[in-house]
Amino acid sequence: MDDRIAHISDPNLIIPADNCTDLFFRLFNSMYDGVCIFEVCGAKVKALYLNERYFQVIGYTREQYLPYYDNVTITLFEEDEQRIFDHAQECVKSGDDFYCEVRGYRFDGSVGWFCIRARVVDFIKSDNPVFLASINDITAQKDTAHLLSINAERYRILEETSSAFLLDYDYENDVMTFSPGKGREDMVIRSYTSYLRRNCPIYDEDVIYYCNVLFKTCRKKGKGFVDVRSLDKNRSFYTICRIIFSSIADEYGEIIRVVGRIEVIDESSGLVARLAEDRSSNSVAGLTDSTTALGIIKNRLPECRSRCFMVVADIDRFSAFNEKYGKAAADDAVRLSAELIKSVFPENAVIFRYVGDEFVIFAEDISESELYDMIDKLRASCRTAMLTVNDESVSVDISFSIGAAWTVCDDKVNIKDLFITADRALIKAKKGSGNRIHVEKIIY
């Protein structure tokens, strides 16, 4: 064997040549990976070099990407951007390579998954850390992994109860799939939210509670169930069904799908219906209980001929508050939240606690700008809110994610439309770090 090849790692073999720079860039531009050299400047990541493949991977042309050269992480999800900085700092300290999977927005607005491998280099002079990194699009692999997770959860549920219908809700595309099994074809319902508002075979009163549990599992990782009365085709006879939901999340806690099962409740099943549990006993801080409040709203709608809003407000990070301070303090926080909400909405607004850490507000004859003003006042009140915990007065970090639906009332408007649209809007408001509002108009 040639002695030079046997000792190819010997740095003395490398002799600088006039065409080194040219070879360097030719090599990088011929690579399958996206290659970048970046400099970490405080809270920004500045691009020093990007090969042609880099732009193909991230879904931009070179011209489209020009505004981001001075801060390339701005196209990433906020929490993933922070992880890049954390990895970079650790890499500078240890000298090790770092590997990170992140989510980012392509130029067309779609979301992609990307893996980044990087290490600190010293061949570029700078007062700041400089990294050589490769980047690849792993969206397809992630989608496959998520699909496997969804199917695994579906089959787990199927094993638990083979006589049940399975359900699979893709809330991003608003598609519900019911799988009856036993050789029967799946029933796929697109625009499922519209179906719930128009053709759903569930009692109107029950469908509101059904949607609340379904959409709640779309917003946060967890499980839930609800008992509903399901009508036959002629809407003359009903059976009581228990519907159980389980949400599936990705590595960062983002919900990717909701799956579950439906089973009939009867004497042989040993299940006891819970159609009314917590509906009349969920009052707090002098608010009307949910059953009574929904009745009041239902009676008001035919007489209302102005713009009306249905608002669903969810306390952000409430489970973390519960873990930190305990159940008693969490209950106090719910009562305080109720008082804060009551203080900013009109006296004629119908306000009630819905489930756990959620509140519903129905208000008439207000504009969208007036609604935003009320939300701003609520946020201001939250910033100065104090709560007694263990005999000490502490500042509580309360904020709300808010979904709202509005319409100009006429004979077509019903409480089911308002509630489902507002609850669905809350899913969008919950995206990101919370403390946001999303408003949707009801369209017929």
Contact 344, 377 (CB under 8 A): yes
Highest mean pLDDT among 214-218, 318-322, 334-338: 214-218
Q: Coil, strand, or helix at residue 215? A: helix
Q: What percent of the chain has pLDDT over 70?
A: 83
pLDDT for 3 beyond 60: no
The whole-number average pLDDT for the span 304-332 is 82
Instruction: Tell whether the torsion through CA atoms of 255, 257, 263 and 269 is positive or negative.
Output: negative
230 vs 233 pLDDT, higher one? 230
pLDDT reported for residue 30: 57
pLDDT for 247 beyond 90: yes
pLDDT reported for residue 4: 46
Please list the alpha-helical segments (H only) found in 192-274: 192-198, 204-219
The whole-number average pLDDT for the span 125-132 is 88
pLDDT for 14 beyond 90: no
pLDDT category of residue 404 using cuts at 50, 70 and 90? very high
Q: What percent of the chain has pLDDT over 90?
A: 27
The whole-number average pLDDT for the span 393-402 is 79
Identify the weakest region by mean pLDDT among 87-91, 323-327, 386-390.
386-390
Alpha-carbon distance of 226 to 202, in angstroms, equals 12
Instruction: Name the nearest CA neighbour of 310 among 437, 435, 421, 424.
Output: 421
Kindly report the average pLDDT of the chain as a whole number.
82
Q: Coil, strand, or helix at residue 301? A: helix
pLDDT category of residue 192 using cuts at 50, 70 and 90? very high
The whole-number average pLDDT for the span 114-142 is 89
Instruction: Name the nearest CA neighbour of 195 among 182, 211, 219, 183.
Output: 211
pLDDT reported for residue 274: 65
Name the helix (H) or strand (E) containing 401.
Answer: strand 400-408
pLDDT reported for residue 391: 67
Q: At what angle do helices 318-325 and 327-344 cross, to 10 degrees?
A: 130
Alpha carbon of residue 340 to chain centroid: 25
Pairing outcome for strands 400-408 and 437-441: parallel
Instruction: Name the nearest CA neighbour of 113 among 158, 80, 91.
Output: 80
The whole-number average pLDDT for the span 140-146 is 86
Q: What is the dihedral of CA 75, 80, 84, 90, to 10 degrees?
A: 170
Alpha-carbon distance of 210 to 207, in angstroms, equals 5
| 383: amino acid identity, one letter | R
pLDDT for 428 beyond 70: yes
pLDDT category of residue 5 using cuts at 50, 70 and 90? very low
pLDDT in tens, 21-76: 555 555 555 566 888 889 998 888 999 888 888 999 999 999 999 999 999 998 99
Contact 242, 265 (CB under 8 A): yes
pLDDT reported for residue 191: 92
pLDDT reported for residue 51: 87
pLDDT reported for residue 331: 81
Alpha-carbon distance of 197 to 314, in angstroms, equals 22
pLDDT reported for residue 413: 80
Q: Structural domains in the chain?
A: 3-137 (3.30.450.20), 142-269 (3.30.450.20), 290-441 (3.30.70.270)
pLDDT reported for residue 363: 92
Close Cβ partners of 280 (under 8 Å, ≥ 6 residues apart): 289, 290, 291, 292
Sheet harboring 358-364: ordered strands across?
350-353, 358-364, 307-315, 400-408, 437-441
Alpha-carbon distance of 375 to 386, in angstroms, equals 19
The whole-number average pLDDT for the span 226-250 is 87
**Residue 346 Ramachandran class (φ > 0 left, ψ -120 to 50 alpha, else beta):** beta
The whole-number average pLDDT for the span 157-161 is 59
Name the helix (H) or strand (E) containing 112.
Answer: strand 111-121
pLDDT reported for residue 270: 59
The whole-number average pLDDT for the span 76-101 is 88
pLDDT in tens, 348-380: 899 988 877 889 999 988 888 999 999 999 988
Phi/psi of residue 177, nearest 5 degrees: -120, 125
Q: What is the dihedral of CA 335, 341, 344, 349, to 10 degrees?
A: -110
Sheet harboring 130-137: ordered strands across?
44-50, 34-41, 130-137, 111-121, 98-105
pLDDT reported for residue 193: 92
pLDDT category of residue 206 using cuts at 50, 70 and 90? confident
DSSP 11: G
The whole-number average pLDDT for the span 82-89 is 87
Identify the weakest region by mean pLDDT among 6-10, 119-123, 185-189.
6-10
| 128: amino acid identity, one letter | N
Contact 438, 429 (CB under 8 A): yes
Name the token pair of 337.
Answer: 């939240």
pLDDT reported for residue 18: 53
pLDDT for 244 beyond 50: yes
Contact 375, 313 (CB under 8 A): no
pTM for this predicted structure: 0.64
Alpha-carbon distance of 262 to 166, in angstroms, equals 6
Contact 89, 41 (CB under 8 A): no
β-sheet bridge partners, residue 118:
98, 133
433 vs 289 pLDDT, higher one? 289
In this structure, how many other beta carbons lie within 10 angstroms of the beta carbon of residue 374? Answer: 21
pLDDT reported for residue 8: 44
Instruction: Name the nearest CA neighbour of 35 among 140, 104, 118.
Output: 118
pLDDT reported for residue 6: 46
pLDDT category of residue 327 using cuts at 50, 70 and 90? confident
